[in-house]
Amino acid sequence: MTARDLIPIVVLAVLAALLPLVVTSSPVMNFLVFTLIVALGAQGWNILGGFGGQFSFGHAAFFGTGAYVTAILQLRYGVNAWAGLLVAMAAGAAVAWTIGFLSFRSGLRGSYFALVTLAFAEVFRILANAASFTGGAAGLLIKLDVHPANLQFADRAVFYWLVLAFVTGVLLLTRWIQRSRFGAQLVAVRENEDAAKALGVDSLKVKLRAIALSGAVTALSGCLYAQYFLYIDAHIAYGSWISVELLLAPIIGGVGTVFGPVVGALTLHGLGELAKQFAGRIPGIDLIVFGSVLVLAVAFARGGILGLLERLRDRGRGMMTRGAKEVSHAGR
């Protein structure tokens, strides 16, 4: 990685960190924290789905595992929340690796992989809804005890900075993946798995590493969700809504890019809020917008928003060079 890789990430992170000094309204802070949590989970999805080309429809399995592990450790075993966060990430990675091992070894790809991940998430949801140590259908309530050691803060801005720090960390991680040998192999597997294998890439190993990383990051977002809202149940943690959210954001923002998931999450939730403002109390209006944007993005902007911007920039450049040529012709 070079300085040129790092500067945009650092500049954006610093600008975003200054935001709470300007904006103090708590609905806006709530919106930002929630959107960043979704963005973080979506960054996790993007590692596997964007760079590895394996579209998961069941990232709720990892999100929920992160949320439940962190909540159960604190409630049942009195484990410190920060330690819980680390264990949650490890658990997310382990669940992801296992699901990946089972499905990649059987050669599942494309739609089949999407379906099997969806089914795994549903199994987790049903189990969490029925078992007693997950609180069953009543869910789990993390005790309100505001203290930094409990990962609970009196000021929303502090939690915002914390989530932002994690998002920035994953931005850097993603940039590193993009520049590393591992990333190149992952992209090779996405573009043509057979060709990558023929060139000596151990595709199973590469995909497993990607899904484990992906699971850890998404579990982290689940853990932060539980810590911020202090309540989870099976439908929140393992519900299909979160699987959909986590895949929508990268696809809208720019799949397989560093900033795509963050741009996508901000755009989607921004649009969703706007729709709510305009349409008032119509239930589901934000989701109608999400679905429509997804169809439109697939139809007209395959690279998502970032892809669209790039194309515009290229066109702009094309015009400028043409313009420059015309000027030089005229001068002759």
Partner 1 sequence: MYSPQIILEAALNGLMTGAVYALIALGLTLIYGVLHIINFAHGALLTCAMFAVWVAWAWLGLDPYLVIVPLVPLMFVLGYGLQRFVIGPASHGDDGNILLVTLGLSIVLENVLLAVFQSDTRTLDTDYSFQVVALGPLLLSYPRVIGLGVAVVVTGLLWLVLNRTDTGKAIRAVAKEKLGANLVGIDVPHVYAVTFGLGCACLAVAAALLMPTFYVNPRIGGAFVLVAFTVVVLGGMGSLPGALLGGLFIGVVESLCGLLLGDSLGQIGIFLIFIAVLLVRPTGLFGAKA
Among 12-20, 127-135, 171-179, 214-222, the segment contacting partner 1 (CB under 8 A): 127-135
141 contacts partner 1 (rule: CB under 8 A): no
CB of 287 to partner 1, least distance (A): 4
Q: Which range, of 8-16, 193-201, 294-302, 316-324, touches partner 1 by CB under 8 A?
A: 294-302
Range 122-134 burial, b when 16+ CB lie within 10 A, else e: bebbeebbeeeeb
- State yes or no: residue 122 binds partner 1 (CB under 8 A): yes
* Residues written for the chain: 332
**Residue with smaller CB distance to partner 1, 43 or 243:** 243
Collapsing DSSP to helix, strand or coil, 313 comes out as helix
In terms of Cβ atoms closer than 10 Å to its own Cβ (0-12, 13-18, 19+), residue 331 is exposed
- Candidates 86, 244, 271, 309: give the one binding partner 1 (CB under 8 A): 244
* Residue ranges with strand state E in the chain: 140-141, 231-232
Q: Got the DSSP string for 224-242?
A: HHHHHH-EE-HHHHS-HHH
Q: Closer to partner 1 by CB, 23 or 244: give it.
A: 244
- Tell the smallest beta-carbon distance from residue 239 to partner 1 (Å): 10
Find the binder of partner 1 among 94, 119, 201, 204 (CB under 8 A).
119
299 binds partner 1 (CB under 8 A): yes
* Radius of gyration for the chain, computed over Cα atoms and rounded to the nearest angstrom: 21
How far is it, in rounded angstroms, from Cα 280 to Cα 44?
A: 33
Among 161, 204, 240, 271, binds partner 1 (CB under 8 A): 240
Give the nearest distance from C-beta 178 to partner 1 in angstroms: 21
User: How many residues bind partner 1, per CB under 8 A?
Assistant: 41
